[in-house]
């Protein structure tokens, strides 16, 4: 299981919340400070005035970009990639076989389907459709977007299906019978909201939602956990505080999928939690520091990742508690060490199979998979024999067997899917994505830049083999730098086809704030230290110039979500370093972000702008307040989504409007559905990337 941060951060890894709710009312002091904002009205998402502005901006940007003959070429190339029938269907273990959710040119909304493992391993699996979202959307007059399903073990026939109308993170939950292929009449059904439920048995769920109007935290999440039985009123088992970030229930499933226990996680802040075991006498607190994340439950052991030093353990360590000991006397239970990463390592993900713990490890930002067994009270480890220099991602693990799917990929190496048996160590390549672009002319390098304070910052460079070292190579540099999320090598077919094949270069800057080297690397750029991530990013650009790989005229930057903070600040602090800036689904107004849902949950990352001390350091970099007249800013391309309930579209709207009011050229485009990911259907995604690359080609290649 991923950490709480990643579990809530499905795409760009900022925590979602309910966009349907109005922004929380700011304090009087905050109101006074923001009253001079002439573009505050653009925060009203669906108001006629706001949407008229969006419509006008979209028309201008579409006219500009679609008039470029490359737009149609880029769109066709991207659509062919996103709808290709030879893509690897992402597998999910269920009911002894494999589930997959599939979208293509004929299934824009997608189909949920099932096959046997044996059939899946063939070149042409025989799929059985469980649910057709295109047909459902047409029948119900909704724009249903798939958000997954949770099925009752061990049979995994009964499932809780999550559907989003338009792609927002708020979902409707319905009970679905996979044998009859229909929603259960009179079954569990929860209307749209920010909610999470788990099965206890066929007639019982546990989870959190907005049980009463307004019964959510200031971040927009549930803080009341209830047990729901068919035909009975929900019974409360935990109530946090409205000032918390969230609360959720973790069901610990043992042999045959039956519950061994329930853990309640109270999210006090984004990075601070309290964990308690549900007992017959109430809640028993699990001895942990506040900065610890639940990872997995296997063989009676609860595994946590520490984000701070505690109890003789270092930050970054994996530790485990024995469930029986916690049930007997939680206050005096003792944790044991599972694994401690080295200084150039970081835990990227953790999961479990039936009997094994699986750790996805980064070693100098390259992937490894280690398997741990709990034998005789001791943890023993071995490494799976997988390709050494690529990135490795956990895809899915079977809770009924010891089988595991992983993806292996590199910038130039098409994604391959591997099936591993964590008990026998057998690994086999199951599927291979055919090359989607000609990678024979390119090479991948890893370099290190020196930041302002002397810290060495790694970055990956993908460049033409015959590149001239004269600074003329059109280069896109990507950055994120937040929430302890690493950015290792990844196969991006649309980038390779549209950009690399046309002689461009691509860079990922592994700046501080990310998770490339564990909690320390992340915490080095938290709150008052945020400037370090901006300095790191600029240092990578200067290193590219020093190596004569590119130059400011040919360097463009791209980031989204938290990366939008990075892009907007990079644009305003160092306009001389780049000629193109793509700012997608961004945070930008950092003096008001905590009043735009769900910004209050991110105070642990950025600081609290309503606190004068925090406001002072945030104000120094917040791009919305630091844009100045008379500067030579590159013309940015700013884009977001009306139905984004993870990062409020007001950030992007206001920044574009302010730049325009000061006489600066700006391109703005807002998709009206799709949510934070902006990839709800293949055509939407193809248009999105066609706009991105048309803009970048105009700025960097022309």
Q: Which of 140, 207, 149, 154 is nearest to 175 (CA)?
A: 149
> Do 412 and 442 touch, CB atoms closer than 8 A?
yes
Active site residue 676: yes
**Helix (H/G/I), strand (E/B), else coil: 418:** strand
Active site residue 168: no
Kind of pairing between the strands at 580-584 and 555-560: parallel
In DSSP terms, which residues pair with 506 in a beta bridge?
Answer: 462, 476
- H, E, C per residue of 434-493: CCCCCCCCEEEEEEEEECCCCCEEEEEEEEECCCCCCCCCCEEEECCCCCCCCCCCCCCH
One of 539, 561, 585, 622 is an active-site residue; which one?
561
At 418, give phi and psi (nearest 5°).
-120, 145
> Do 569 and 621 touch, CB atoms closer than 8 A?
yes
Q: How far is CA 255 from CA 93, 156, 213, 276, 695, in A?
A: 17, 14, 39, 22, 54
**Distance separating alpha carbons of residues 627 and 637, to the nearest angstrom:** 16
Buried-exposed string 229-257: b where 16+ CB fall within 10 A, e elsewhere: eeeeebeebbebeeebbbbbbbbbbbeeb
Q: In sequence order, what are the residues at sequence separation of 6 or more whose Cβ sits closer than 8 angstroms to the Cβ of residue 185?
A: none
DSSP per-residue letters across 382-415? EE----SSSEEEEEEE-SSSSEEEEEEE-SSS--
In DSSP terms, which residues pair with 162 in a beta bridge?
Answer: 173
**Distance separating alpha carbons of residues 358 and 349, to the nearest angstrom:** 8
> Do 360 and 397 touch, CB atoms closer than 8 A?
no
**Distance separating alpha carbons of residues 175 and 161, to the nearest angstrom:** 6
One of 107, 109, 651, 676 is an active-site residue; which one?
676
Q: Which of 236, 241, 232, 233 is nearest to 268 (CA)?
A: 241
Q: What angle separates helix 48-66 from helix 69-82, to the nearest 10 degrees?
A: 100
Q: For the chain, first and last CA: distance in Å?
A: 46
DSSP conformation class of 664: -
CA atoms in the 13 A half-sphere facing the CB of 56: 9
Q: Is the dihedral of CA 144, 150, 151, 152 positive or negative?
A: negative
**Distance separating alpha carbons of residues 49 and 568, to the nearest angstrom:** 25
> Do 577 and 632 touch, CB atoms closer than 8 A?
no
In DSSP terms, which residues pair with 428 in a beta bridge?
Answer: 419
Q: What is the dihedral of CA 374, 156, 359, 268, to 10 degrees?
A: -100
At 654, give phi and psi (nearest 5°).
-65, -40
User: Quick one: how far is CA 361 from the chain centroid?
Assistant: 18
Residue 220 Ramachandran class (φ > 0 left, ψ -120 to 50 alpha, else beta): left
**Distance separating alpha carbons of residues 657 and 588, to the nearest angstrom:** 13
Tell me the helices (H) and strands (E) count for the chain, helix number first. Answer: 16, 37
**Distance separating alpha carbons of residues 386 and 409, to the nearest angstrom:** 11
User: Quick one: how far is CA 639 from the chain centroid?
Assistant: 18
Annotated active-site positions, please? 561, 676
């Amino acid at each position: 299981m991923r950490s709480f941060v990643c579990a809530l951060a499905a795409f760009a890894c900022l925590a979602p919340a309910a966009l349907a709710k109005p922004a929380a009312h700011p304090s009087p002091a905050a109101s006074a400070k923001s009253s001079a904002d002439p573009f505050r009205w653009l925060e009203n998402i669906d108001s006629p005035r706001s949407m008229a502005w969006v419509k006008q901006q979209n028309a201008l940007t579409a006219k500009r970009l679609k008039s470029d003959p490359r737009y149609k070429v880029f769109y066709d190339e991207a659509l062919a990639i996103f709808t290709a029938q030879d893509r690897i269907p992402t597998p999910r273990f269920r009911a002894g076989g494999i589930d997959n959710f599939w979208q293509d040119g004929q299934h824009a909304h997608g189909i949920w389907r099932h096959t046997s493992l044996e059939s899946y391993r063939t070149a042409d699996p025989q799929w059985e459709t469980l649910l057709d979202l295109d047909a459902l959307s047409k029948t119900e007059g909704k724009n249903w977007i798939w958000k997954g399903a949770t099925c009752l073990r061990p049979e995994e026939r009964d499932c809780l299906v999550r559907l989003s109308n338009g792609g927002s993170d708020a979902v409707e939950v319905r009970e679905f019978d996979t044998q009859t292929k229909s929603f259960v009449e009179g079954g569990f059904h929860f209307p749209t909201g920010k909610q999470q439920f788990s099965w206890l048995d066929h007639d019982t769920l546990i989870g959190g939602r907005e049980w009463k109007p307004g019964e959510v935290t200031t971040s927009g999440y549930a803080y009341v956990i209830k047990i729901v039985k068919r035909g009975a009123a929900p019974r409360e088992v935990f109530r946090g505080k409205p000032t918390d970030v969230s609360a959720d229930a973790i069901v610990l499933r043992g042999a045959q999928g039956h519950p061994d226990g329930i853990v309640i996680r109270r999210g006090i802040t984004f990075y601070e939690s309290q964990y308690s075991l549900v007992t017959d006498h109430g809640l028993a607190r699990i001895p942990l520091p506040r900065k610890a994340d639940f990872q997995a439950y296997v063989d009676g052991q609860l595994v946590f990742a520490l984000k701070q030093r505690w109890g003789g353990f270092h930050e970054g360590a994996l530790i485990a508690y024995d469930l029986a000991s916690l049930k007997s006397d939680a206050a005096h239970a003792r944790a044991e060490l599972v694994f401690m990463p080295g200084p150039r390592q970081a835990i990227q993900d953790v999961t479990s199979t039936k009997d094994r713990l699986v750790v996805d490890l980064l070693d100098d930002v390259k992937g490894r998979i280690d398997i741990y067994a709990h034998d005789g009270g001791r943890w023993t480890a071995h490494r799976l024999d997988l390709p050494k220099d690529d990135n490795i991602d956990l895809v899915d693990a079977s809770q009924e067997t010891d089988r595991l799917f992983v993806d292996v990929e590199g910038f130039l190496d098409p994604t391959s899917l591997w099936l591993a048996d964590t008990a026998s160590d057998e690994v086999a390549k199951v599927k291979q994505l055919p090359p989607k672009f000609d990678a024979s002319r390119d090479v991948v390098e890893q370099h290190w830049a020196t930041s302002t304070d002397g810290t060495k910052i790694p970055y990956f460079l993908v460049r033409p083999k015959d590149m001239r070292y004269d600074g003329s190579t059109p280069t896109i540099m990507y950055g994120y730098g937040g929430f302890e999320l690493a950015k290792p090598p990844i196969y991006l077919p649309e980038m390779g086809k549209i950009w690399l094949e046309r002689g461009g270069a691509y860079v990922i800057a592994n700046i501080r704030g990310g998770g490339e080297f564990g909690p320390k690397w992340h915490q080095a750029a938290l709150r008052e230290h945020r400037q370090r991530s901006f300095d790191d990013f600029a240092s990578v650009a200067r290193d590219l110039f020093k190596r004569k790989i590119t130059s400011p005229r040919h360097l463009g930057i791209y980031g989204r979500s938290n990366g939008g903070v990075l892009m907007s600040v990079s644009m305003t602090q160092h306009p001389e370093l780049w000629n193109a800036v793509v700012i997608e689904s961004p945070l930008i107004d950092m003096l008001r972000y905590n009043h735009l849902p769900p910004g209050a949950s991110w105070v642990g990352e950025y600081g609290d702008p309503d606190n004068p001390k925090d406001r002072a350091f945030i104000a120094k970099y917040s791009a919305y307040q630091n844009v100045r007249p008379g500067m030579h800013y590159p013309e940015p391309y700013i884009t977001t989504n009306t139905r984004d309930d993870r990062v409020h579209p007001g950030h992007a709207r206001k920044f574009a409007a302010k730049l325009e009011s000061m006489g600066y050229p700006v391109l703005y485009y807002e998709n009206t559905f799709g949510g934070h990911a902006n990839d709800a259907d293949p055509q939407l995604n193809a248009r999105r990337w066609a706009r991105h690359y048309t803009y970048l080609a105009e700025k960097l290649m022309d």
